[in-house]
Amino acid sequence: MIELKDISYRYRAGLEALTGITASIPDGIHLLLGENGAGKTTLLHIISGLLFPNTGCCEIDGLKIADRTPETLSKVFFLADNLDFPQLTVKKFAAVHSPFYSRFDNDLFEENLREFGLTGNEKFRSLSFGNKRKSLLAYSLALSTDVLLLDEPANGLDIGSKQILRRMVAKCAVNFRTIIISTHTVTDLEYLFDGVMMLKRGRLILSESVGKVQSELSFITAPVPPVESVFSIQNLGAFRCIVPADESTESEIDFVLLYLALQSKDADKVLNLLKSEE
């Protein structure tokens, strides 16, 4: 369980990157959405203990990550979208780095590499961007940390590799793990998510389970927006709409449509539906 308690973060230049972030993030796979500059990467850095909030704190299983004790740091791993390992190969890096993570599964690491068509002995300098990314993902998922933070994990991956990544993430999402995935390409992993979070201009405007969103909102296609629609966009002659949910309109979440709605002038209409009591 991750607890975010009134977190605010300000850069030295005075820019307020995050303001009053409070949320409880349970086990499962969570989608983190937000426009460029919304504070997603900053929040992931704080959860991983790489940045320290100006106010508030982040706790993982009751331990403050900012204390940076071996016990807390071994619970979390953050794969940034620009991370590059210093060793010549990913296996050499694993030999140095993995002893700090007691649940590292070398058999799973080898299996992940094979799934991606790699051996782990390839020199990083000779790999394409996509294959570098595969190497890092194969290792990150095998660490078996309580908390895994992935920033744009599918960047550089081809269609087949994205399918493989989806299987790998689903496989490692066991009961004790919390995985947060920040991405703009939500369709790559959309059916895996248990929860969704949305940052807007440094504020957390949404943090809900997928079940809660589905119980309150339906995502439909119609020739014209129905009168009860709280948000709609035209797409190829029809309209994609968000309407209040009922038994006849229950649907899978359209995360792209939800994102667009929460970025629009109709955001409060959508959020008010999600604030209704169970």
Per-residue pLDDT 10s for the chain (278 aa) are 899 999 999 987 778 899 999 999 999 999 999 999 899 999 999 999 999 999 999 999 888 999 999 988 999 999 998 776 777 899 999 999 999 999 999 999 999 999 999 999 999 888 899 999 999 999 999 999 999 999 999 988 999 999 999 999 998 877 789 999 999 888 888 888 999 999 999 999 999 999 999 999 999 999 999 999 999 999 888 999 999 998 766 688 999 999 999 999 999 999 999 987 65
Final residue of a domain: which of 201, 228, 261? 201
What was the pLDDT predicted at 277? 61
Question: Any idea what the CATH number is for the domain that residue 147 is in?
Answer: 3.40.50.300
Angle (nearest 5°) at CA 213 between 152 and 243: 115
> How many domains are there within the chain?
2
Same domain, 15 and 134: yes
Same domain, 22 and 69: yes
User: What distance in Å separates the CA atoms of residue 87 and residue 89, rounded to the nearest whole number?
Assistant: 6
Same domain, 34 and 158: yes
What was the pLDDT predicted at 22? 96
Residue 274 CA from chain centroid, whole number:
20
Residue 161 CA from chain centroid, whole number:
18
What was the pLDDT predicted at 176? 82
Same domain, 227 and 180: no
Residue indicated by tokens 């390992």? 85
Q: Which domain holds residue 21?
A: 2-201
Same domain, 243 and 126: no
User: In 10 A of CB 123, how many CB atoms?
Assistant: 9
- Token pair listed for 24: 């409880």
Same domain, 164 and 189: yes
Same domain, 157 and 270: no
What was the pLDDT predicted at 81? 82
Same domain, 17 and 101: yes
Final residue of a domain: which of 150, 181, 201? 201
Final residue of a domain: which of 201, 224, 242? 201
